[in-house]
Structure 1
């Protein structure tokens, strides 16, 4: 028997599997068709695909007699939780007269109770759907019936499917019996939502996480079943079904069932893509290449062409994200290209992209596509939403790295100079004059992009419109015809004094108070530890309770209030205490000094129960100038007071 659970050629077939691989037979005697997921349901532990660790554990437990009283089977849909529960119940009650009379995982022959258990009609193997039996009364029936010994089998086995659907009262009612059941009772639970099961129940069970089935094993399983059904299916079609199944045997067999009905005896990859609304994988790779080269026009045309032949825009973006993930894996782990689920086209072109594209760009593309899939699925016009995602991704290809931007800013360079739009698009001014409109726009942008050397940017970047033919004619009419005529140098611009001069966080607090922005004022006082303060740049260390975007929000507020761009940077260095922490420390120091003062100490001893609750410092007019210094903390003004606790 091979890894898919089907008999190898020339070997005897396992019970309940294919009886004649050359003939398509109905699964029921009355001729009613039985779907593949039920017709080829595993009946032995050897038939289970991809669950070898669980089988090994159960085999050792049965051989040594260390049989638990309860098992918890969890995993995604379609990996075989209910089927495994029935096989486990069969192994617990396995009995062949004169051959086997003990629990085992070697179910070579059909035993006395096997057929009834696998068909779900054995009197001692009770299956309950917790989704429709959620109450304490249902659990009370199980508890009452568990006291009686099984009628014919070795164990009375209770299989509770979707156990997370039970109510809290039902879970609590089951705890005592689950922890100390009668020796003839076993419980098997199955669930897709393991986090919803109380920990008190989990601690009383042996837990088995049924894993998703590898694509290579799924492909082998689908191939064997297709051969058994007499269906011709291409290898590429098998790969598409295995991918769409996402590790679920039931989902994959359901898709194969649908493909058999759609293909009418032969299944090709093209028919399968049309049935599932999938995009051609090669065309998805072409679309990826257009995006990585910044060619928006070709990328949008390719998406439209795929949409016209029936591809779902959300699935196209999902396939793009999958290929992005594959290229990233090939870049960091080249052996990923050797997996069986990777086509030859993906392997060849994926390696080519992995050599040219940086991990940073691939990561950025992954984030954009991941967000874009959600947008397309929620949009009323999926194609339009997908177009916007592709435009965003194509422009992101030419975006500089944030670290490089910060380095340019520190060196006094203009990070916006030389920024280019993706290829395949017009200049920022739209449809300019072919004879020089775009070049005029670039010249105007360059003349205003930066100031003198070392001074950094002198104005906020604005989009520059390209000059059309009428505008060029007007300019030429008012200028000498000689091409050698030198142009007058632009007059130097005189920068106006800034309206606000910020020198420290105290000034920022005062500005926030003036602008009546109380939330930002509190954030500056309590959630920012100052690391470095320079004109145009502030380095802070946010506190643990600070929002994730506090630096960006602070920078936006400063731009709104002052009209100047401030770069607020989150630093890894340790910052000073927050303004609030400094004020608290100063106040505590004042309280300590007040308590140690002889006069105050005498008052406290004279009045038992009295305590110092506040300290206010009276400041003379001569000292007001010193306290006005922003480097001096702002203590509260007043005098030391002592009050009785009754007051």
Structure 2
């Protein structure tokens, strides 16, 4: 029985033509030998298993092959290999430099191959510098490393550098197919592509995996056997998951993910593979990008068929969601829940052909995070539906600063409608997602029912100059609906300036007790005056106070419209900075105000030598 030789050694290339995936480097070295244009110091750098040491040995052999030399002579006595990982001291380099002086007995050159050269110590590098800079005419040095950045610049500047690239999946799969045919092994193309992808550009790793899978499955290499042996998820899992996502089948998607976990795969592996699957579907959308799909022919047909179902924006959104889950997975304390939430978001992406719905949480005050089909819930059919005539549809106010409808207003509207029937959970959610504003409240005699304004139930305000307020205002402008109001039915009663000032003071007292101190202070800064055509005018000392009042004026105007029985009143705010002096803000200003009222305070300060 012949001893087994691993494929990485058995099929090691013996000539430059046998080297896979490094045509640019092998052609350069071949032409350099033929034209006698070879440097005396070369550096081969690149990832593991791409052919650095192999190319160094082939080059060392072919350098001495002249016309009179035999092709089968390897000139082994002219080739010296040094493993810098275990021989990295100054003494090892000194011994090597002492041998360099001796010319070769047969052939023209002595070749020194130093593997893993980045492992040399600093002192060894310095001892090697002079020899590398001015080597004898018969000496050629070939340095190989996987970490070029660890080599000192003085060594790099003395070498001709060749960067080896990762071997593509296509080249690796073709070479594995050649080896399988040579060993009379029946192998599926998809199985070889999975091995090539698992190797990650390293031919040595691919050959090692090939040997392992062959030992597992024998003379017939199938995709199922490869995925089972390498512990990778099959394409079919992601095809099925994508179909469930496109069908919005959240229960089936969660069951599929649970089955994947039961097979021993973790959620991170699953979500990374799903993101790669979406990427492969994306490249199938255009004819020019199909070559970027690195799979077998059978799998390519499945990808091309499934890529017709989702739209391009859908896939882009799906890749973004999956990538976001990939980033957050390591830091998450409930990783399974994170992946399940991501899958539910993916199954809830909607695209209507013109405008995408945002996937981000918290955008839009009443926008749900994701849409779950009604079939996912078990709703009791015995619950009665509300009477449609009792549901009041909200109407948008003319003003652009209307806040969302409060819970208290919704409760009052339902009470006045005398609706005693219960609503289903899904119907309650739909009512909460409706328009953010309510109709203006007219007087009792106008024929339209009035509603008491609950100032305490309004949402917490933010500064009018903050990013949150600007964002909320922009969203409100996008979401608002144009109102249709019959102006003839709205109240338009006359009122006096004394009534205005009384209700103004009442409103300031209410919001001050409610904790809205800033707005109360701003409204208390000036006494409102009545202009013609129901225009209320106040004067404030600076623009900041004006912007704050304009931002928060909705409740004020609704309160005044209700109390004064006039829907057509408006608020006009002007700024007069000269009036700012009558307000005391700093300790010094407060002292000056007190001194104006009682000059004796200044004597008191001087007598006791007081300071602010």
TM tier, smaller: 0.5 to 0.7
What's 1:492 paired with?
453
What's 1:417 paired with?
366
What's 2:338 paired with?
388
Q: TM-score scaled to structure 2, two decimals?
A: 0.61
Paired residues of 2:114 and 2:143 also in contact (CA < 8 A): yes
Matched, 1:196 2:150: yes
Q: Which runs of 5 or more residues in structure 1 are unaligned?
A: 1-25, 102-108, 115-121, 462-473, 478-486, 509-532, 540-561, 565-621, 631-647
Among 73, 76, 80, the residue aligned to 1:112 = 73
Paired residues of 1:278 and 1:316 also in contact (CA < 8 A): no
Paired residues of 1:78 and 1:250 also in contact (CA < 8 A): yes
What's 1:352 paired with?
308
What's 2:511 paired with?
none
Paired residues of 1:73 and 1:208 also in contact (CA < 8 A): yes
**Residue 359 (structure 1) shift:** 5.6
Paired residues of 1:129 and 1:162 also in contact (CA < 8 A): yes
Residues 263-282 of structure 1: pairs in structure 2 closer than 5 A: 263-282=217-236
What's 2:26 paired with?
55
Are the structure 2 counterparts of residues 65 and 310 from structure 1 closer, same or farther at C-alpha, using a change threshold of 3 Å? same
Among 123, 136, 139, the residue aligned to 2:77 = 123
Residues 275-354 of structure 1: pairs in structure 2 closer than 5 A: 275-291=229-245, 294-309=248-263, 311=265, 313-331=267-285, 334-336=288-290, 341-342=295-296, 343-353=299-309
Name the count of aligned residue pairs. Answer: 441
What's 2:505 paired with?
none
Matched, 1:220 2:174: yes
Answer with 266-275 or 133-142: which moved more.
133-142
CA distance in 2, matches of 1:475, 1:310: 53
Among 211, 214, 233, the residue aligned to 2:165 = 211
Residue 419 of structure 1 aligns to a residue whose secondary structure is coil
Are the structure 2 counterparts of residues 535 and 256 from structure 1 closer, same or farther at C-alpha, using a change threshold of 3 Å? closer
Residue 242 of structure 2 aligns to a residue whose secondary structure is helix
CA distance in 1, matches of 2:222, 2:357: 50
Are the structure 2 counterparts of residues 385 and 254 from structure 1 closer, same or farther at C-alpha, using a change threshold of 3 Å? same
CA distance in 2, matches of 1:340, 1:535: 48
**Residue 328 (structure 1) shift:** 2.7
Residue 94 of structure 1 aligns to a residue whose secondary structure is coil
CA deviation string 1:531-553 (max 9, x = no partner)? xx8955699xxxxxxxxxxxxxx
**Residue 52 (structure 1) shift:** 0.9
Matched, 1:65 2:11: no
**Residue 320 (structure 1) shift:** 1.5
CA deviation string 1:398-443 (max 9, x = no partner)? 5799x9899x9xxxx982334363435889xx87645559x89xxx
Residue 162 of structure 2 aligns to a residue whose secondary structure is strand
CA distance in 2, matches of 1:196, 1:498: 60
**Residue 314 (structure 1) shift:** 4.2
Q: TM-score scaled to structure 1, two decimals?
A: 0.58
CA distance in 2, matches of 1:312, 1:365: 18
CA distance in 2, matches of 1:417, 1:451: 18
Are the structure 2 counterparts of residues 359 and 308 from structure 1 closer, same or farther at C-alpha, using a change threshold of 3 Å? closer
Residue 72 of structure 1 aligns to a residue whose secondary structure is strand
CA distance in 2, matches of 1:422, 1:204: 64
CA deviation string 1:560-608 (max 9, x = no partner)? xx999xxxxxxxxxxxxxxxxxxxxxxxxxxxxxxxxxxxxxxxxxxxx
| RMSD (CA atoms) | 4.6
Paired residues of 1:414 and 1:450 also in contact (CA < 8 A): no
**Residue 496 (structure 1) shift:** 8.6
Residue 455 of structure 2 aligns to a residue whose secondary structure is coil
Are the structure 2 counterparts of residues 370 and 460 from structure 1 closer, same or farther at C-alpha, using a change threshold of 3 Å? farther
Residue 306 of structure 1 aligns to a residue whose secondary structure is helix
Paired residues of 1:450 and 1:459 also in contact (CA < 8 A): no
**Residue 158 (structure 1) shift:** 1.6
Among 388, 401, 408, the residue aligned to 1:455 = 401
Among 298, 305, 320, the residue aligned to 1:364 = 320
**Residue 333 (structure 1) shift:** 6.0
Paired residues of 2:280 and 2:293 also in contact (CA < 8 A): no
CA distance in 1, matches of 2:451, 2:301: 57
CA distance in 1, matches of 2:335, 2:206: 30
Residue 259 of structure 2 aligns to a residue whose secondary structure is helix
**Residue 449 (structure 1) shift:** 13
User: If you compute each CA radius of gyration, which structure gives the higher value, 1 or 2?
Assistant: 2
CA distance in 1, matches of 2:369, 2:395: 14
Q: Which runs of 5 or more residues in structure 2 are unaligned?
A: 408-418, 423-447, 474-515, 519-577, 587-612
**Residue 90 (structure 1) shift:** 1.1
Are the structure 2 counterparts of residues 625 and 130 from structure 1 closer, same or farther at C-alpha, using a change threshold of 3 Å? farther
Residues 541-552 of structure 1: pairs in structure 2 closer than 5 A: none
Among 51, 61, 66, the residue aligned to 1:90 = 61
Are the structure 2 counterparts of residues 385 and 66 from structure 1 closer, same or farther at C-alpha, using a change threshold of 3 Å? same
Are the structure 2 counterparts of residues 491 and 319 from structure 1 closer, same or farther at C-alpha, using a change threshold of 3 Å? same
What's 2:126 paired with?
172
Paired residues of 2:249 and 2:347 also in contact (CA < 8 A): no
Residue 123 of structure 1 aligns to a residue whose secondary structure is helix
Are the structure 2 counterparts of residues 289 and 202 from structure 1 closer, same or farther at C-alpha, using a change threshold of 3 Å? farther
